[in-house]
Structure 1
Amino acid sequence: MKVLLVDDEEKITNVLASYFEKNGDITYIANTGESAIQLIDQIPLDMIILDLMLPDMDGESICQYVKLNYDVPVIMLTAKISIESKVTGFELGADDYVVKPFHPKEVIVRAERLLPESHKKQVITSGNLELHKNERQVVWKHQIVQLTQHEFNILLLLAESPKKVFSRDDIIQKLFGYDTEIHLRVIDQHIKNIRKKINRDYIQTVFGLGYKMNEKVKSE
């Protein structure tokens, strides 16, 4: 899984990163809230380990941002916490709490227990649509659909964060990099091609903003 470790103490993030990487996971580190938000917006994450207290913003605000825009579990790290603060955190969407000091193995176990089945199986489903990440295969109504590499990447990007609206600039930057000179209309054409190959209702156009997965689509 892709794990973002957010804590202003580099010793903590480095130790956690070492244990997660030995576990076969990919880690990203942020020591400020601002850098954490940037990584959250740039990388399709599977898990976020988030310190409650950061130098530039509180962890609860970051947790709230994550839950409004992404389907990613969040484990909060804290030195001490009252029941009132814990209830507030859960109301904002925190999935679990770990109290410092802790052993990194405890964090890994808690993270793996929170990992959605779709990520464990590397399959994302939405109605009659299935995206098999390892095989890079799309199945719609039990039939394999042939998408180009770019079409698959765009559909996967949207499907992994179904609550988030991606602008055409977002899609270009995430899939092709900041230095690319791809025209914005190329993304529109890719979306059009995807819609032709599966039910067009799966990808929703948000006027003036961009594209997102239509969470209301359950079946056809």
Structure 2
Amino acid sequence: MRVLIVDDEEKITNVLVSYFEKNGDHTWVAHTGESAIQIVDQIPLDMIILDLMLPDMAGEDICQYVKLNYDICVIMLTAKVCIDDKVKGFKMGADDYIVKPFHPKEVLVRAERLLPDSKKKQIITLGPLEFHKDERKVLINHQSIQFTPHEFSILLLLAENPKKVFSRDDLIQKIFGFDSDINPRIVDQHIKNIRKKVKEDYIQTVFRLGYKINEKVQE
């Protein structure tokens, strides 16, 4: 999930960034309305956590701008408890409303529930690595990495089943088909190529068993 956190209080943005990043999401931070709109116009976001009381413009105006131009979920954060303020926020297009003070875990849970099922299914994140299944694209730290079709399929299979160990034969059957006459060492070469491209040890070798996603990546 690509999340923009907009709040003029650095303490709040730091805490929320920590929770979302630990969850495997990618975050951007804005402390003013102007910088928030700049990010919205430049980055394909899935979610905005938006404080209503910013130094340069009202959060409601930012929400209205977002909803008129993009398909992005917006959760409003505010110290205002009046029901009229909440109604105004929802009329501007807010998808949810959280009153300060709040626990950051609540914000994370609400954000995950709002994310459309289509995006949940089509995007997988593992730390800085992000799979876009429908586009067959992989991003690392938001930079596109080119994989061959077989490399992509192997890495995606491991990412979708992070706790499972796949033997060479498992991977051949899943990627090449049951009737494929493929030398098992071809799998090793694909794994080697993937490791070179991601430049981090996302794939763990399990002695005498096969390969899986490195547990450290899942933390």
> Counterpart of 1:13 in 2: which secondary structure?
helix
Q: Which amino acid aligns with 1:43?
A: I
Shift of 1:82: 1.1
1:101 and 2:101 aligned? yes
1:19 and 2:24 aligned? no
CA RMSD of aligned residues (A): 1.8
> Counterpart of 2:60 in 1: which secondary structure?
helix
Counterpart for residue 35 of structure 2: 35
Shift of 1:117: 1.0
Shift of 1:81: 2.6
Q: Distance in 2 between matches of 1:115 and 1:135?
A: 17
Counterpart for residue 70 of structure 1: 70
Q: Distance in 2 between matches of 1:134 and 1:114?
A: 20
Q: Distance in 1 between matches of 2:7 and 2:110?
A: 17
Q: Which amino acid aligns with 2:106?
A: E
> Counterpart of 1:112 in 2: which secondary structure?
helix
The alignment covers a number of residue pairs equal to 131
1:55 and 2:55 aligned? yes
Q: Which amino acid aligns with 1:118?
A: S
Matches within 5 A, 1:49-198: 49-122=49-122, 133-134=132-133, 136-137=135-136
Q: Distance in 2 between matches of 1:21 and 1:29?
A: 12
Q: Deviations over 1:90-143 (max 9, x none)?
A: 1110011111111100000000000011110117xxxxxxxx9325249xxxxx
Q: Distance in 1 between matches of 2:43 and 2:118?
A: 18
Q: Distance in 1 between matches of 2:115 and 2:134?
A: 20
Counterpart for residue 2 of structure 1: 2
Q: Which amino acid aligns with 1:93?
A: G
Q: Distance in 2 between matches of 1:34 and 1:8?
A: 12
Q: Distance in 2 between matches of 1:21 and 1:87?
A: 31
**Residues 1:71 and 1:19: Cα distance change in structure 2 (over 3 Å):** same
Q: Which amino acid aligns with 1:8?
A: D
Identity of aligned residues (%): 76
Q: What are the ranges of 5 or more consecutive residues in structure 1 without an aligned counterpart?
A: 124-131, 139-148, 150-220
Larger radius of gyration: 2
> Do the aligned residues in 1 keep the contact of 2:49 with 2:75 (CA within 8 Å)?
yes
Shift of 1:80: 2.2
Q: Distance in 2 between matches of 1:68 and 1:93?
A: 9
Q: What are the ranges of 5 or more consecutive residues in structure 2 without an aligned counterpart?
A: 124-130, 138-145, 147-219
The runs of at least 4 aligned residues of structure 1 exceeding 4 Å deviation read none
Counterpart for residue 184 of structure 1: none
Q: Distance in 2 between matches of 1:90 and 1:84?
A: 10
> Do the aligned residues in 1 keep the contact of 2:32 with 2:56 (CA within 8 Å)?
yes
Q: Distance in 1 between matches of 2:87 and 2:58?
A: 16
Q: Distance in 2 between matches of 1:135 and 1:37?
A: 27
